[in-house]
Amino acid sequence: MITIQVSDEIRERCPDFVGAAVFATLRNSEYNAALWQEIDRFIADYRQRYTVDCLKQMPSIEATRAAYRRCGKDPSRYRPSGEALVRRTLKGNNLYRVNTVVDLINLASIAYGYSIGGFDADKIGGSELVLGIGREVEPYEGIGRGPLNIEGLPVYRDALGGIGTPTSDHERTKLTLETSHLLAIVNGYDGDRSNVVACATYIQELLRRYACSDGGQLMEF
């Protein structure tokens, strides 16, 4: 089990932050037809209920944007992934198909509006993650993005460096078809612990159906 700590610099700037983590042993796959049927049904209903204009009324998204500003980053230039997924969905664009575990995490992110980090736990250096703020010229390679300027972004660091921000996770710990141990982190800058835990529980439910027999373990922090 990996421990997760929240640094004083995050607590000072984002005092309402709450998080939840799911640890699971899984069977990943390239594509799961049943999962995508669920995603398609969910998105069809979602588009009936919301428009892009609704983004401003979504507390989970607005709170993450506010956290960016307090940490020193422009959320319009470095869009949080939860917002990016919701925005893409409501604009009528299809979601990318990556692999089953990434796809179900993306579904949970859209459903709750939170930016969710998904990591290959076996590739995390050491036994502790600390949530801090990115520094000037701190090296970081975003998944599919190349070098990413994380100065002013909330960032989880292991013993080797940064592995996850709400904008993009790091290539080093990304989820692949070979991943057998998952760490998924729900980032609740809105302070709504019950909603954050509900999102993590939803991830567990999706894992049970599509990638993991028991849904893994849930930890709040």
Assign residue 72 the CATH number of its domain.
Answer: 3.50.40.10
Please report the pLDDT score of residue 1 as a whole number: 80
Average pLDDT, the chain: 97
The mean pLDDT value for 143-147 works out to 96
Residue 54 has pLDDT above 90, yes or no: yes
Range of the domain at 152: 3-220
Domain count, the chain: 1
Q: Residue 119 in contact with residue 183, Cβ under 8 Å?
A: yes
Buried b (16+ CB within 10 A) or exposed e, 150-178: bbbbbbbbbeeebbbbbbbbbebbbbeee
* CA–CA distance, 144 with 164 (Å, rounded to integer): 14
Per-residue model confidence as pLDDT tens digits over 160-212: 999 999 999 999 999 999 999 999 999 999 999 999 999 999 999 999 999 99
Q: Is 107 exposed, middle or buried (0-12, 13-18, 19+ CB in 10 A)?
A: buried
User: Cα dist. 72→48, 75, 113, 134, 205 in Å?
Assistant: 35, 9, 21, 9, 35
Q: Report which of 133, 9, 115, 19 is spatially closest to residue 60, judged by C-alpha positions.
A: 115
Please report the pLDDT score of residue 71 as a whole number: 98
User: Cα dist. 129→28, 72, 163 in Å?
Assistant: 24, 21, 9
For the chain, give the longest Cα–Cα distance: 45
The dihedral of CA 120, 126, 131, 132: what is its sign?
negative
Please report the pLDDT score of residue 34 as a whole number: 98
The mean pLDDT value for 95-100 works out to 97
Q: Which two tokens stand for residue 31?
A: 């594509």
Considering the entire predicted model, what is its pTM?
0.97
Give the CA count within 13 Å in the CB-facing half-sphere of 101.
Answer: 27
